[in-house]
Amino acid sequence: MTARTTGKAAANKPTSTDETEALRLRAATGRRLKAGIGTLATATLQRLDATLPWYRAMQPADRSWVGLVAQAGISSFVEWYRKPAAPLWIVADIFRAAPRELTRAISLQQTLQLVRVVVEVVEERVPDLAKVDDEAALREAVLRFSREVAFAAADVYAQAAEARGSWDARLEALVVDSLVRGESVDALASRTSALGWRSQGEVAVVVGQAPFRPTPQLTDELRRAAQKVAEDALVGIHEDRLIVVLGGSSDFRKSAAALADRFGPTSVVLGPTVATLAEAGRSAAAAVAARKAVAAWPSAPRPVTADELWPERAMAGDLDAQAELINRIYRPLEALGGSLLETVTIYLDCGNSLEATAREMYVHPNTVRYRLRKATETVGWDPTAARESFVIRAALVYGRLAASTGLSTTSNSAS
């Protein structure tokens, strides 16, 4: 390095006198800032009220917390400016003044709008707060501090989102477990309310085999897929079962079919539709019982509804399925008159033959055909279809048992 270069560098290097003067100016500005904290806070709140509609619409308690955050930001800036050697870690303390719930009351975007308003207010008052020689330094400090506040705000919201996600996942698993265990409606309602269930439509539960090694990514992906075919969804794993609660679908069977490939290789069962999430325990209980009995119907569709498995469930000891067979099929046929119930019985006993039934009853085959059609319209199950005739035959068996032995016809899940 030449002597000329060395001399130029020495000329550009601040002297101790320059540094002392800068510190003196900064200290003087710091005192003015400290004295003006109250004025700055008042001006900031007034500006918030005048320029931010969302702030004006907030509840008084939330407005108070937002004001506290703004005042904490101003105080932190003043404290840092008065001590330039201090690190900017005090920025994180700004958001500790407000409760964690405030991150739910205002968004990150709104928080950044708040920071911008505070910066604008301070910048406008720079000529009043700093001496002429220190105005540029104060403006630069405001911009640097506002940047750090923005980063701190993003970090606070990221942590809140992560914590909320973990809490929601645990609560969701608890809700699904409550459904399967059949806990009280009141307890379930309070938990789903905290979870933020949005759908006001009907609800149905889908149950299938869980993957051998389920991961959080699996349930997240399944939840997102479920929310594409329904208004809302809950996903949980209970023992070896993967359970999806769907809310607000226009066609639950179609929705379940769209999700079937995400379950394990065995059967997928759709529980009956219920009116609200608080009643979803009945749908879950039926789906779980049906999944245990579905092995008795090797050719069952995928997904299969729990109602389609009434006979298998009844034979497996499911009292709800027995009651459904009796109340939904046997009793309505019986109420239409003896001839209709007799025709269906004889038709099934004759191997589903119209001619053989007509000969047995001494009537025309068209009469048998009419009565069978009437039975289908009444109960929704067709005696002439192979699978549905099996369901009706099971209903006749349990109906006669109920009449002769006093078998219960009340569903345990009815409420």
Pull the structure tokens for residue 111: 């928080």
Pull the structure tokens for residue 19: 């540094």
131 sits in the region (left: phi over 0; alpha: psi -120 to 50; else beta) called beta
Q: Report, in angstroms and rounded to the nearest whole number, the Rg of the chain calculated over CA atoms.
A: 36
- CA pseudo-torsion sign 396, 398, 399, 400: positive
Q: How many other C-beta atoms lie within 10 A of the C-beta of residue 180?
A: 19
Name 243's bridge partners. 207, 236
Specify the CATH number for 14-163; select among 3.30.300, 3.40.50, 1.10.3470, 1.10.490: 1.10.490
Q: Which of 356, 357, 345 is nearest to 395 (CA)?
A: 345
Helix, strand, coil distribution of the chain in percent, nearest 5? 70, 5, 25
In 52-134, alpha helices (H): 53-56, 60-82, 102-105, 108-124, 126-129
| C-beta separation of 301 from 238 below 8 A | no
Q: What pLDDT score does 252 carry?
A: 95
Domain ranges of the chain: 14-163, 182-310, 318-405
Mapped onto helix, strand or coil, the DSSP state of residue 407 is coil
Report the C-alpha gap between 127 and 139 in whole angstroms.
10
Q: What pLDDT score does 3 carry?
A: 44
Q: What pLDDT score does 328 carry?
A: 95
Q: What pLDDT score does 240 carry?
A: 82
Q: What pLDDT score does 191 carry?
A: 55
In tens, the pLDDT along 311-343 reads 999 999 999 999 999 999 999 999 987 788 999
**CATH code given to domain 182-310:** 3.30.70.2730
Q: 14-163 with 182-310: one CATH topology?
A: no
**Any idea how long the chain is?**
415
Q: What pLDDT score does 135 carry?
A: 74
Q: What pLDDT score does 373 carry?
A: 94
In tens, the pLDDT along 192-202 reads 555 567 788 89
Report the C-alpha gap between 100 and 253 in whole angstroms.
41
Report the C-alpha gap between 81 and 256 in whole angstroms.
61
Name 208's bridge partners. 242
| C-beta separation of 341 from 395 below 8 A | no
Mapped onto helix, strand or coil, the DSSP state of residue 203 is strand
Q: What pLDDT score does 104 carry?
A: 56
Q: What pLDDT score does 354 carry?
A: 93
Report the C-alpha gap between 297 and 199 in whole angstroms.
34
Q: What pLDDT score does 386 carry?
A: 93
The residue type found at 45 is: L
Q: What pLDDT score does 374 carry?
A: 94
Pull the structure tokens for residue 391: 């369901």
Q: What pLDDT score does 178 carry?
A: 66
Q: What CATH fold (topology level) applies to the domain 318-405?
A: Arc Repressor Mutant, subunit A (1.10.10)
Beta strands 241-247 and 232-238: pairing type?
antiparallel
pLDDT (tens place) for every residue of the chain, 415 residues total: 444 444 444 445 444 666 666 667 777 777 777 777 788 788 888 888 888 888 888 778 777 777 777 777 777 777 777 776 655 544 555 555 555 555 556 666 777 777 778 778 777 777 777 666 667 777 777 777 777 766 666 666 655 544 444 444 555 656 666 666 665 555 555 555 555 677 888 999 999 998 776 666 777 788 889 889 998 888 888 778 888 989 999 899 999 999 999 898 899 999 999 998 878 888 999 999 999 999 999 999 999 999 999 999 999 999 999 999 999 999 999 998 778 899 999 999 999 999 999 999 999 999 999 999 999 999 999 999 999 999 999 999 999 999 888 666 666 554 3
Report the C-alpha gap between 279 and 273 in whole angstroms.
9
Pull the structure tokens for residue 171: 């609560």
The residue type found at 318 is: D
Residue 192 burial (10 A CB sphere; 0-12, 13-18, 19+)? buried
